Amino acid sequence: MSGTDLNRVVQRMLARRQRPSEWAALATALVALAAGTAGSIATDNRQIKIASVVIVVGVLSSLILAFRFMLIVVIAVVLALSAVFAVNGLSQDQLSTSGLLMVIVVLTVMVIQAARRDRLGLRQVSAETVIGLIRDRLLVQAQLPEIPPGWTIDIEQRPADGAAIAGDFVSNRLIQDGTSNVLHLAVVDVSGSGIAAAPRALLFSGAVGGLLGSVDPADFLPAANDYLNRQQWSLGFATAIYLTLDLDTGRYSIRTAGHPPAIHYQPCETPPWRSSPATGTVLGVLPELGDVVDEYVLAPGDALFLYTDGVVEDRTRDIDVGTRRLQEVVERLAATAAATGAHEWPEMSRHLISEVPSKRDDDRTVVTIRRNPVPALTPPSETVPAETVPAETVAAETVPAETVPAPAPDHVAPSADAIR
C-alpha cells in the first residue's frame, strides 16, 4: 500500500469517527426538546417554559451542528411548540409576543451561523480554535533556542486592542558557523493590525522561517521582498529588521526594510545611546531594495533593542518622542538594577511594552538582547609572594654583616703622638 492510499484510509477512518459525534449531538438536542415539551405540557407551561427550552437547545446546537442538522432541529422546535399549543392552547400564558420574537430571532441566528460555519469548513472546529492555532504557530517562530552563557534575550508581543493574534511576528534561528554561534533574528510587522493582519502574518512567517539562516544575510531581505511581490496582496507590504549576531564575539550586523531603527545602549559611553544607521525600502512595494548595512559590536554590559512602530509611535505622538521615552525607561530600570547589585534585567521587554506605548491600538513587539557584564575580579593582595622577589634583592638581604665595609666617619679624633 502506497503512502497516498494509506493517507486516504486514515482520512476515511477519521471521518467515520467524527460522524457519530455529530449524530450524537443531534440526538441529544432532539431528546432535550422532547423532554422539555413533555414537561411543559405536564406543568401547563408554568414550571418548565417551552420558550426557554427552545432557546437553550437552539443556542447550544448552533455551536456544534452542521447546517443540515440545524434544519432538523428547527423542524423539531416547530413541532414542539405546536404540540404545547395544541394541548394547552395558544395564549399569552403559554408564549408571550416577546417570547415568540425571541424564539424566531434565535432560530434565525443559529441557522445563519451554521451555514456560515459550513461555508468556511468549520463544521466541528470553532473559529476560536482556528485563531488559537494561528496564534500558537506565530509564537512558535519566536521561541528562542538554547543561548550560550553570557547573554540575556527576551521577547514580548502584544496584539492591538487585546486581540488574540497580531500582524507582528518574530522569527529566529541559531546557526553553528565554524566555531562561532550566530543568531539570526528577524522582527516583521505586516501591514494592518490584530486579527485582520494575522492571516498574512502567518503566511509570511512560513517564508521568513524558511529563509532565515538558509540564505546569505545579504540575500535575506531581497528574497523576502520577492516573495511578497509574488503574493499580490491588496495590503501587501511589510516592514522588517534583520539581525545577525555572533554570540562569541558580540559583533552584529543589522539590515532593515522600512522598520524603526534598532537602538544600542552603551552605559559606559557618552552619550550612552547609539541609533542604528541601517535603512532600507519596505518589503512588497518595489522590485529592488536599497539598503544600508550597520555593523557594530555589543560589548559586555551593552544591550540592543528591536521593536515595532506600535511601541514608539501613534497618531498623537511622533516616533522620536516615543524613542526617547523608551530610552528613559531603559535607563531608569538599568539604574534600579545597578542600585540593587543585579547583573541581569529580568523581563525588560515586558516592562517596555507596558510603559512606553501611549496607546494600545497597534500591535507591539519588543526584543531585548543584552550581553551580560563580566563580573568584577577580586583585587590582588598587596603582599608580594616570596617567589616574585627579584633574586638581586634576596642576595642583598642575605649578605653577612662582617663582609660589609664600615662607612668612613665624618670626623677622626687625633692620636696622642699628634698632640705631642
Give CA separation, 310 vs 202, 358, 417, in Å: 19, 9, 111
Whose grid coordinates read 494561528? 134
Radius of gyration of the chain (CA): 38
- Least trusted range by pLDDT, from 11-20, 104-113, 230-239: 11-20
Band of pLDDT at residue 394, cut at 50, 70 and 90: very low
| pLDDT of 93 over the 80 cut | no
Average confidence (pLDDT) over 361-374: 90
Query: What SS3 state is found at 203?
Result: helix
Task: Give the mean pLDDT of 85-95.
Answer: 74
Cα separation of the two ends of the chain = 141
Q: Who wins on pLDDT, 385 or 103?
A: 103
The answer to whether 153 and 144 have CB atoms below 8 angstroms apart is yes
Long-range CB pairs of 208-215, under 8 A, 24+ apart, other chains included: 208/141, 208/169, 208/171, 208/240, 209/141, 209/171, 209/173, 212/171, 212/172, 212/173, 212/184, 212/186, 213/173, 213/175, 213/184
For the segment 85-111, the average pLDDT, to the nearest whole number, is 79
pLDDT at 243 over 90: yes
Contact 217, 255 (CB under 8 A): yes
CATH for 129-371 is 3.60.40.10
Amino acid at 137: R
User: Domain residues of the chain, as ranges?
Assistant: 3-125, 129-371
- pTM, entire model: 0.68
